[in-house]
Amino acid sequence: MVKSAKNKYNGYPPFMSFIRLDSHAFAHNIATVQALVPTEKIAIVLKDNAYGHGLAEMASLAVQNGIRHAVVRTVAEAESISGSFETVLILAEIPREKPADCIEVAVNSLEEIAKVPEGTAIHLKVDPGMHRNGIEPSELETALQKIKNSGLRLTGLFSHSRSGDELSSELFWQYKNFLEIKARCETLCTELGMALPLFHFANSPTLLRFGETVAFDRVRIGIAAYGYIDAEPLMRNPDLRPVLSLWGERIVSRKLRKGQRVGYGGAGMMSRDGVVGTYDLGYADGLFRHDGSVPFHLDAETEVVGKVSMDNLALNRNDAQVCVLADAHVWARRFGTITYEVLAKLSPRIPREIV
């Protein structure tokens, strides 16, 4: 079972604001993926606090939807959910001691092989042309020899695409490279007397673009599970539903006259008489620091008034609670970034609730 948090505030002081997680939206997104690939091949990516959604909460929802495999960033993340999944793959940390049998470790270089505790299950990453992590294809034979000699268990071999969400031919080139890497690995494993590993290449955009063609033995589903695909507009993107909404609670409200200014530097000027509410969220909680230089509408009715402060933001609202983030695209477009960053920045100290 997933280990519960210390308390509903994850060990931090109480908050009035909160994050709401829509279990029905998540189930819809997973069903969209399940229509393309068998459930047993799906690995849910829960790294970095499940893209800001909450590791324990999203692990619980994944299990409820039949997901058997997970991918995380750190040893601590893996250990906290290891009782819920058949396998948990750590992407970016080598444990000091051999982990539980269900925990697997990604290896990105020849040097890392020597650092992995004997008997550990590993997934070897091979670079298909992204030039970020993974061994060079030319190093594959050396890597497999080292893995065998080190007493490690090769349970997976994988790559990652740099352009699954871009309308170009690069994905096809990287996919072809992976096919060659896979074939070479199969030959070498047979020659070395090693069991064949699982093979995986597809992340969310790659799977949704190619379908089961790229599924191999496993697919790593991250952003799509949470309701987003930051792909080119001309690409056929599926109907996904955002899982997370961020809500602020009003601290105080006041009536202001036309011409009065709000917040630091008086950046928010009232264009007419009205009410402004101050809500308990700011850039310390993961919001971007809107500087008030241009209008910023959260939705058709809600506008940010002036600058976003460390712990507060002012809105042209007087509701006791206001949804500050329902669609991460709104914040991403305003700040010239992607939905991944908007979501992953959200503070773990904000309480999460599943509805």
Neighbours of 151 (CB within 10 A): 11
Question: Do 23-226 and 244-354 fold alike per CATH?
Answer: no
User: At a CB cut-off of 8 Å and minimum separation 6, what does 183 contact?
Assistant: none
What single-letter DSSP state applies at residue 122?
E
Name the pLDDT band for 15 (thresholds 50, 70, 90). low
The two three-digit tokens of residue 261, written as one number: 């200014």
Active site residues: 47, 264
Q: Is 31 helix (H, G, I), strand (E, B) or coil?
A: helix
Nearest alpha-carbon partner for 225 in 241, 249, 206: 241
Is 252's pLDDT higher than 50?
yes
All structural domains of the chain with their residue ranges: 23-226, 244-354
Is 80's pLDDT higher than 90?
yes
**CATH no., domain 23-226:** 3.20.20.10
Q: What are phi and psi of 205, to 5 degrees?
A: -65, -35
pTM recorded for the entire structure: 0.91
Higher pLDDT, 13 or 294: 294
**Window from 78-87, 127-136, 188-197, 323-332 with minimum mean pLDDT:** 127-136
- Can you give the pLDDT at residue 211? 84
- pLDDT, one tens digit per residue, over 149-173 is 999 999 999 998 766 566 667 778 7
**CATH no., domain 244-354:** 2.40.37.10
What single-letter DSSP state applies at residue 126?
B
